[in-house]
Structure 1
Amino acid sequence: MLLACSPQAQSNPTPTSVTLHLLADGTTDQAKSLQQTIDSCGATGGGTLIVPAGRYLISPISLCSRVNLQLASGATLLASTNAADYTPKLPNLINGDSLTDVSLTGTGTIDGNGAVWWQRFIDSGKTLNRPRLIYLTRSRNVTIDGLTLINSPSFHLVPSQCQNVTIQNLTITAPSDSPNTDGIDPANCTHVLIQNCTIDNGDDNIAIKGGRSNGQIVQPCQDIQIRNCRFLHGHGLSVGSETSSGVSSVSVTNCTFTGTTNGIRIKSQPGLGGAIQNLSYSQITMTNVTNPLIIDLAYSLNNNNGYASDIPSVSGLTIDQLSVTGAKNAGSLVGLTNSLLQNLTLSNLQISAQTGLVLQNARNITMSAYRIQVSSGQSVIAQNATGTGF
């Protein structure tokens, strides 16, 4: 039996909370029953739908405005691995389009059952399009709080062209060799807060993207705050590679990186690049991170680069209070000869690495109060780079 949210009286705006009764055998698809209840709750004013402890198999579902789907402790939504369940209308496990005041909360787990998909991807010659775990687009006032997300077929959490997004207290895990299992990928969003998250996966821990949408320049990704996060295996905290529509006003504070391949990373390339500006990183600690600092505007692993006029640029980057130990190199900040890095400020850096910091194709770099200890070579290697303090 399923219970739907009761209609909300005008005099009582408090949302209804309802505990669902689903079959928790882990093998019988519960998506139809769950979807009916979500739709009914949304149609009658919204509320909180509580999934109790248990293991529930689901095929794709779609969220509704003013509905909070809450997973109780011990509750797991297990993704179907039947490729036929994923359709053009519902291509991801949890979908949402043009919603307002939508939430996914609780202390339960959403399990993408990814191992089957990763093998299919390899068997396809790495051409298979795979579902995302959660994909929300063109929505406002989005909250994702407290959940554990594991083993997505590809990206775990993607808010795209959304406004006012809060993502907090998440644990996201997938094997370090799982393909394209990005943690959180805000794309062309405005006003995003990501805080108190632990991400341990096989690709970008976070990737902030500002690409084109259906071939068109759209809103940039802007006003992104990331704080108090912990990154383990993964490819680091990235901007890009899609930046044609722009990325601006990003603030990252009090984050730790342990054993990631990369740390602070900006990646883009001619053909899919745009203005990347006003980025600030402070109180960052990295341990055994291979490449702690990377700007790579000649990134070559994205083939969606068919727009000749889309040239990436970086201006207004500040890194302060950075501590790095056990790195292979101190960093590589490299612009293009036709798009120089501009206005970089690096201060209060303590870096221990095998080789030094490369600065190339850059103007107006300011370095102060830094110590870069290297096993061999110069601590700072500047090529076509001007500024002060180095």
Structure 2
Amino acid sequence: MASNNNLNIIVIITMCSYIKSHVMKKFVICFVLGFLCLNVVEDFNNRAEAIQYSAINCRKHSAVLTDFGGKGDGKTSNTAAFKAAIANLSKVASDGGAQLVVPPGKWLTGSFNLTSNFTLYIDKEAVLLASQEESDYPLIDPLPSYGRGRDAEGKRFASLIFGTNLTDVVITGGNGTIDGQGEIWWKKFKSQQLKNTRPYLIEILFSNQVQISHLTLINSPSWHIHPTYSRDVIIENITVLAPIDSPNTDGINPDSCSNTRIRDSYVVSGDDCIAVKSGWDQYGIKFGVPTQHLSIKRFTCISPDSAVIALGSEMSGGIQDVRAEEIYAINSQSGVRIKTAPGRGAYVKDIYVRNLNLNTMKYVFWMTGAYGSHPDPGYDPKALPVIKNINFKDVIGKNVNIVGNLAGIKDDPFTAICISNVTVELASKKSLFEKAKKLPWNCTDIGGVSSHVVPKACDLLPEKQVNCGFPTDTLAIDKIVLKTCSV
């Protein structure tokens, strides 16, 4: 077993013995690569049975954080333990891969990087506590599709859990918790004390075969989950919780990703629950990597000041083929929102949404062509976005202030909008909506049709006998069946 003082003991081994847990309620898991063997003995609170979980791939080798000097007392930094464990386990990436188990306890840590063919498993009674010290987060360059940090012109603090150029990486658990302890970051951001962009909880770049599942993420300094420039991404059974007034604590932000599915997840946040992105103005246009083939199903959101699903505003690489269904929202600002502006360029097209159930909303549908934040003065105001083929069907809304606020761009209208089978109950007369006597629809510079919509849609969406489209094919990412693995 590796000790705290020597994390790289190399031994010559001829055999690894597996001791059945039914007999001794302990196990020994060994792996061999050349002369390397890590013997792991752990009983996880005297559990007699193996813990099972679902993953894109299972691992041949296994280790526990405590074997690398980890201490789950909530006070001792475990950054070095995580780094040492992952460095050692990376040596067996080509021999069936490895999983690192975070056992019950409170594990304080700064930023650490993952490796390929690797699983990070966070036990149901484990809590990762993100360090609140800036020095525990290395500074990294801005994303090439953004050109600068989002919070400030400087660099970015690396995310708590970070990885780049990976293949087959899984972050999962028994609904274990990752606590970003973000309050100190929120205060610094609001008081403009930060010269660099806040860290996220999980960010994976330039990778493929990524899974993030069965976790509770709370109080991130900024965004919670940010897969970027990646493909074949699975995000399932995730709970995200942050105060509704916390700044930019988006839940899940797929950014310039292809073939992504988001399933069975729940977000309460101070910003968009899901924000689909692909780069910012001239930087995103130059980088040119869209988010496409995104499937969202069985998703619940609470976000009084933001959207359930936002497309943009950073969409300059393009967003195409988004399919969302079985979406539920309570006390949120808008159901589906498209955010763009002159200078963004690119497109948001082929968007399909059905089976929305919304309660206590400001807007059901919200599109704006005047979301005017820009990275710097170098953007091209003539780079106009194309917004077309936007489909909504089978929507129920209750206690809603405004059904649709749809505002395109002058001389660049949003076109081919289709809204069908929508029934919305407006808020009561005692609400601010009635006091202000706002109309249920406000439409400018758009075009399309509507069918069986109550209250009746605006004149720019004339009534037709249509059933708005939703694809009948199945995306490749939705065909992937996870394997049953064990700890």
Contact in 1 for aligned 2:65/2:81 (Cα 8 Å): no
Contact in 2 for aligned 1:272/1:304 (Cα 8 Å): no
How much does 1:60 deviate? 0.5
2:77 counterpart of 1:29? yes
Where does residue 170 of structure 2 map in the other structure? 103
Q: 1:188 aligns with which of 250, 256, 261?
A: 256
SS in 1 for 2:252: coil
Contact in 2 for aligned 1:109/1:149 (Cα 8 Å): yes
SS in 2 for 1:260: strand
Where does residue 281 of structure 1 map in the other structure? 353
Aligned equivalents of 1:282, 1:263: Cα separation in 2: 11
Aligned equivalents of 2:178, 2:185: Cα separation in 1: 16
2:465 counterpart of 1:371? no
Task: Note closer, same or farther for the CA distance 1:321–1:59 as it changes in structure 2 (3 Å cut).
Answer: same
SS in 2 for 1:261: strand
Aligned residue runs from structure 1 range 192-271, under 5 A: 192-212=260-280, 216-234=286-304, 235-236=306-307, 237-271=309-343
Q: Does 90-99 or 198-207 show the bigger shift?
A: 90-99
Unaligned ranges ≥5, structure 1: 373-378
Where does residue 375 of structure 1 map in the other structure? none
How much does 1:279 deviate? 0.2
Where does residue 161 of structure 1 map in the other structure? 229
Q: 2:110 aligns with which of 44, 59, 81?
A: 59
How much does 1:210 deviate? 1.5
SS in 2 for 1:28: strand
Task: Note closer, same or farther for the CA distance 1:340–1:7 as it changes in structure 2 (3 Å cut).
Answer: farther
Once the two structures are aligned, what percentage of the paired residues are identical?
29
Contact in 2 for aligned 1:93/1:133 (Cα 8 Å): yes
SS in 2 for 1:197: strand
Aligned equivalents of 2:303, 2:413: Cα separation in 1: 31
SS in 2 for 1:36: helix
How much does 1:126 deviate? 7.5
Task: Note closer, same or farther for the CA distance 1:172–1:14 as it changes in structure 2 (3 Å cut).
Answer: closer
RMSD after superposition = 2.1
Where does residue 436 of structure 2 map in the other structure? none
Aligned equivalents of 2:181, 2:111: Cα separation in 1: 13
SS in 2 for 1:300: coil
SS in 2 for 1:343: strand
Aligned equivalents of 1:304, 1:287: Cα separation in 2: 38
How much does 1:381 deviate? 3.5
How much does 1:8 deviate? 6.7
How much does 1:242 deviate? 0.9
Where does residue 215 of structure 2 map in the other structure? 147
Task: Note closer, same or farther for the CA distance 1:176–1:273 as it changes in structure 2 (3 Å cut).
Answer: farther
CA deviation profile, 1:147-197 (whole Å, cap 9, x unmatched): 000000011110010000000000001000000101111100000000100
Where does residue 197 of structure 2 map in the other structure? 129
Task: Note closer, same or farther for the CA distance 1:34–1:127 as it changes in structure 2 (3 Å cut).
Answer: closer
Aligned residue runs from structure 1 range 36-55, under 5 A: 36-45=84-93, 46-55=97-106
The amino acid that maps onto 1:349 is V
How much does 1:291 deviate? 1.5
How much does 1:380 deviate? 3.5
The amino acid that maps onto 2:160 is L
Equivalent pairs counted in the alignment come to: 378
2:442 counterpart of 1:358? yes
Where does residue 290 of structure 1 map in the other structure? 362
CA deviation profile, 1:297-321 (whole Å, cap 9, x unmatched): 1113455572334322211111010
How much does 1:35 deviate? 1.1
Aligned equivalents of 2:206, 2:380: Cα separation in 1: 24
2:428 counterpart of 1:380? no
CA deviation profile, 1:267-317 (whole Å, cap 9, x unmatched): 011112421100000000100011121010111345557233432221111
Q: Does 255-264 or 118-127 show the bigger shift?
A: 118-127
Bigger relative contact order, structure 1 or 2 (CA pairs below 8 A, ≥6 apart): 2
The amino acid that maps onto 2:457 is V
SS in 1 for 2:402: strand
Where does residue 92 of structure 1 map in the other structure? 159
How much does 1:99 deviate? 0.3
Unaligned ranges ≥5, structure 2: 9-29, 35-57, 141-156, 427-432, 434-438, 466-487
Answer with 1 or 2: which has the greater Rg. Answer: 2
SS in 2 for 1:289: strand
Contact in 2 for aligned 1:210/1:220 (Cα 8 Å): yes
Q: Normalized per residue, which structure has more strand?
A: 1
Where does residue 316 of structure 1 map in the other structure? 389
How much does 1:256 deviate? 0.1
TM-score (norm 1): 0.91
Task: Note closer, same or farther for the CA distance 1:125–1:57 as it changes in structure 2 (3 Å cut).
Answer: closer
TM-score (norm 2): 0.74
SS in 1 for 2:197: coil
Aligned equivalents of 1:311, 1:174: Cα separation in 2: 35
SS in 2 for 1:311: coil
Aligned equivalents of 2:313, 2:200: Cα separation in 1: 18
SS in 1 for 2:74: coil
Task: Note closer, same or farther for the CA distance 1:361–1:136 as it changes in structure 2 (3 Å cut).
Answer: same
Q: 2:65 aligns with which of 8, 15, 20?
A: 20
CA deviation profile, 1:212-252 (whole Å, cap 9, x unmatched): 59562321100000000100125121000011110000000
Contact in 2 for aligned 1:51/1:71 (Cα 8 Å): yes
The amino acid that maps onto 1:334 is A
Contact in 1 for aligned 2:31/2:62 (Cα 8 Å): no
How much does 1:58 deviate? 0.2
How much does 1:386 deviate? 5.9
Contact in 1 for aligned 2:401/2:440 (Cα 8 Å): no
Q: Does 201-210 or 120-129 show the bigger shift?
A: 120-129
Aligned equivalents of 1:336, 1:266: Cα separation in 2: 12
Task: Note closer, same or farther for the CA distance 1:259–1:304 as it changes in structure 2 (3 Å cut).
Answer: farther
Q: Does 208-217 or 168-177 show the bigger shift?
A: 208-217
Q: Which runs of 4+ in 1 moved over 6 A?
A: 2-5
